[in-house]
Structure 1
Amino acid sequence: MLRNPQAPRAGEPGTGAPPGPATASGGTSAADAERLARVLLTRLTEPGDAVVGRWLGQLPAADVVRAIRAGAVPEHPGLDAARLAAYQARLPGLDPVDDLNRVRAVGGRFIIPGDTEWPSQLDDLGDGRPIGLWTAGTGSLRLLALRSVAVVGSRACTAYGAHVAGELSAQLAERGWVVVSGAAYGIDAAAHRGALAVGGMTIGVLACGVDVAYPKGNTELIRRIGAQGLLVSELPPGEHPNRFRFVLRNRVIAALTRGTVVVEAAVRSGALSTARRARDLNRHTMGVAGPVTSELSAGVHALIRSGSATLVTDAAEITELIGAIGDDLAPERSGPVLPRDLLEPGVARVLEAVPATADGAPVERLARLSGLPPDEALQRLYELSALGYVERHGAHWRAVRRRN
């Protein structure tokens, strides 16, 4: 059994049961203790920590924190002395109540599994499910996520990619869909802006605290997302991003939404990790084709070619895949209706048989080619002549050149 000789006494910061709202008996309710313990765990661990995830599947969060503090940890897969020591090293000075106050100061809240606002689809992440989510903005995350789609792609996108991402997101927002992305430069920013431009709802899933604007160049955009939509993060207030947190953030985007659209991505783009997670979670994965000469389209093309993603070109095709069966059908694509498309079948067959050569062909040959009796073929030829499709030259008929 592992012990921590410097374990704080009950009631001190880091105990897992910091002061909270009092119950009628003067203590802290079990629900409050669970929330405060999960707040503390978001400080102790990194997003997607499967070791703590498995532990939380067996014990309340408050018991997990107490076990870490005391070093009295039962046999647990993946939890060794080094990992336990790392958790314990982060305990001193932590104040979950202060974290909750900090997020409330920016109009936010902390939601956990079991809350009415918790999106149950995140449970598909198994042991990697978020311990809790820090949010800032308006609306219920659970309700907004029910009809949401992720639009992701390269940070160093082309003008083509930014235009397509913005157009798709605006179209999706106008159809009542919530656009989800990572608030990064490039495709992410274009997706958010497209939804916001038409008064739509958008969710930014961050790799930092919801009170931290990163990247700095998107400060105003992130502020607008928080005002008009919702900011979401696994990381507590004040936390800054690193390379691994961006990758781990992508799994939340994939799990939260009905499907993921990759607009532009190079072969080694981080956006492809979101697509792969979406595929592994049985979400719809979609890709937008780009110029074959562009390296930023190579990753998307590879996804489509391998069958891992479905080619989409507009919001109608996206919503047909992720929407309600029979309700969100994309219109059938066809060219313009031409006058010859309206011809009756027998008339059309005769027209197809008439050559466009100067010599033309006699009625007998046209009747044989169209499969009609000579008298009927002759009647159809005169109908076609009245419509301007054919003309007679002696005993022969020839087609009149026209555009349709």
Structure 2
Amino acid sequence: MVVPEEERRARATLCAIAEPGEILLGRIVARAGPCRALAVVRGEEPPPEGISITEGGRRRLAAWRARLQAADTEADLAVCAELGIRLVCPGDPEWPVTLDDLGDRRPYALWLRGPLDLRYSCLRSVAIVGARAASPYGVRIASELGAELADAGWTVVSGGALGIDAAAHRGTLAADGQTIAVFANGLDRFYPAGNEALFVEMLHKGLLVSESPPGTDPHRLRFLVRNRVIAALTRGTVVVEAAARSGALNTAVHARDLGRALMAVPGPVDSKVSVGCHKLLRDTPPARCVTTAAEVLEEVGRIGADLAPPPRGPVLPRDMLDPVTRSVLEALPARGAAGPAQIAVRAGVDLATATSRLGQLSAAGFIERAPGGWRLRRSAKLPSSPV
């Protein structure tokens, strides 16, 4: 499907005059299309049938009409052409259909900067979000998760913020993986400035995404609203660290509302930046506790295929013994010695079997002869093959 140029420019204008995620405007666009939506804003057409405009709605329409006077879509598109920014609209091949799950809060369009294909990259993607004031523990975990998910062929999506977001992006890039940052401002400037080197690298290897045209400044509301896009683009969201009040928890709410997998990494019980994660793990329904990339993939991957291996302790020499031989070994007293008949009774085997297995255990270095029978060796050697 080819989006008509008139519709593309109309959507670019809507991005400039309204805040992202405006439900009223989203409803008008969904029912009338972007071109007629602009006519409604100008006052040239009535709202589509079935949409009633409240007093608050009339104030919004007035605000959008005022901003329309200052909007310069041609200038925005010229800046985009100069910086290599492209506009992707619903109906374009690069548009991720998962964004349609947002309903009336779906983006009017998206501005993209970087070589990755947004739709293709998000087919297998995970969001990693968390605190800006992250602890060394959180930074390490986010970086490791990003690298391991990249090694498994998954795209990592985050918000480009300091702390956990930046660590996830850097870990993914270090593993030569694909990563996407969703901005709350225009793509003609990098925010925060402390991550400028990271964003420059992403211009060559990743993708920067925004709902806002060039020249748009970030503010708190836009950060919160963009979190719904992070959640909608991905199959699941991992919260690595989050304080009691954290934007990462806002992303978690969107993920849960959208039916996406929600995961949280536990932290030290006395860590303020893990309070939010622990709350998610106690909520109803609770977030899934994850500690490794394998556990993350078990939540978002293919059913029955991307299963995390069960946790296992170290393999001990006695784990290599067959059940009967192990029962004979476990029948020996922890201290002192015992005769073959006594060991046979304790192991529940006949005397001949006990005598045979005691010889094998002795040869393998588990036990040794002692006055009165057999006893455990204090330093049993590791057998080279099962007894």
Q: Shared fold by TM > 0.5?
A: yes
Q: Is the 8 A contact 1:363 1:395 kept in 2?
A: no
Cα distance in 1 between the residues matched to 2:6 and 2:168: 38
SS in 1 for 2:16: helix
Say if 2:303 is the partner of 1:330. Answer: no
Cα distance in 2 between the residues matched to 1:172 and 1:81: 47
1:332 deviates by 3.9
RMSD (CA atoms): 1.9
1:212-263 Cα distance to aligned partner (Å, 9 max, x none): 2111222222222222211100111110111010011111000001111111
Q: Is the 8 A contact 1:279 1:308 kept in 2?
A: no
Cα distance in 2 between the residues matched to 1:139 and 1:388: 59
Q: What's the TM-score once normalised by structure 1's chain length?
A: 0.88
2:136 — aligned with what? Answer: 159
1:277-315 Cα distance to aligned partner (Å, 9 max, x none): 112212111222222221111211221233532222222
1:327 deviates by 4.0
1:402 deviates by 3.3
Alpha-carbon distance change, 264 to 189 in structure 1, aligned in 2, over 3 angstroms: same
Alpha-carbon distance change, 45 to 159 in structure 1, aligned in 2, over 3 angstroms: same
Q: Is the 8 A contact 2:128 2:157 kept in 1?
A: yes
Output the amino acid matched with 1:76. Answer: I
1:326 deviates by 4.2
SS in 1 for 2:237: strand
1:84 — aligned with what? Answer: 61
Q: What's the TM-score once normalised by structure 2's chain length?
A: 0.91
SS in 1 for 2:374: strand
Match for residue 208 of structure 1 among 185, 203, 208:
185
1:377 — aligned with what? Answer: 354
1:70-108 Cα distance to aligned partner (Å, 9 max, x none): 254235245532222122111113222222222121101
1:357 — aligned with what? Answer: 335
SS in 1 for 2:28: helix
2:265 — aligned with what? Answer: 288
1:366 — aligned with what? Answer: 343
Output the amino acid matched with 1:94. Answer: A
Alpha-carbon distance change, 59 to 179 in structure 1, aligned in 2, over 3 angstroms: same
Alpha-carbon distance change, 73 to 35 in structure 1, aligned in 2, over 3 angstroms: same
2:124 — aligned with what? Answer: 147
Cα distance in 2 between the residues matched to 1:366 and 1:260: 56
Cα distance in 1 between the residues matched to 2:261 and 2:139: 22
- Would you identify which runs of 4 or more consecutive aligned residues in structure 1 move more than 4 Å? none
1:30 deviates by 7.7
Alpha-carbon distance change, 294 to 30 in structure 1, aligned in 2, over 3 angstroms: closer
Cα distance in 1 between the residues matched to 2:302 and 2:127: 17
1:38-73 Cα distance to aligned partner (Å, 9 max, x none): 111112211111111111221111011112202542
Q: Is the 8 A contact 2:3 2:89 kept in 1?
A: no
Mapping of residues 254-333 of structure 1, within 5 Å = 254-306=231-283, 308-333=286-311
Say if 2:41 is the partner of 1:68. Answer: yes
SS in 2 for 1:58: helix
Cα distance in 2 between the residues matched to 1:335 and 1:50: 52
Mapping of residues 6-25 of structure 1, within 5 Å = none
1:188 deviates by 0.9
Cα distance in 1 between the residues matched to 2:102 and 2:20: 12
Say if 2:224 is the partner of 1:247. Answer: yes
For structure 1, the residue ranges without an aligned partner over 5 or more in a row are: 1-28
Cα distance in 1 between the residues matched to 2:307 and 2:261: 15
SS in 1 for 2:69: coil
SS in 2 for 1:135: strand
Output the amino acid matched with 1:293. Answer: D
Match for residue 322 of structure 2 among 341, 344, 347:
344
1:37 — aligned with what? Answer: 10
Cα distance in 2 between the residues matched to 1:70 and 1:305: 50
Output the amino acid matched with 1:241. Answer: P
Cα distance in 1 between the residues matched to 2:292 and 2:21: 33
1:107 — aligned with what? Answer: 84
Output the amino acid matched with 2:289. Answer: L
SS in 1 for 2:138: helix
Identity of aligned residues (%): 50
SS in 1 for 2:242: coil
Cα distance in 2 between the residues matched to 1:284 and 1:387: 50
Q: Is the 8 A contact 1:51 1:77 kept in 2?
A: no
1:194-221 Cα distance to aligned partner (Å, 9 max, x none): 1222322211100001112111222222
Cα distance in 1 between the residues matched to 2:70 and 2:252: 39
Cα distance in 2 between the residues matched to 1:35 and 1:112: 7
1:16 — aligned with what? Answer: none
Cα distance in 2 between the residues matched to 1:292 and 1:399: 42
For structure 2, the residue ranges without an aligned partner over 5 or more in a row are: 383-387
Cα distance in 2 between the residues matched to 1:348 and 1:221: 56
SS in 2 for 1:82: helix
2:29 — aligned with what? Answer: 56
2:166 — aligned with what? Answer: 189
1:398 — aligned with what? Answer: 375
Say if 2:12 is the partner of 1:46. Answer: no
Cα distance in 2 between the residues matched to 1:370 and 1:235: 74
Cα distance in 1 between the residues matched to 2:143 and 2:259: 26
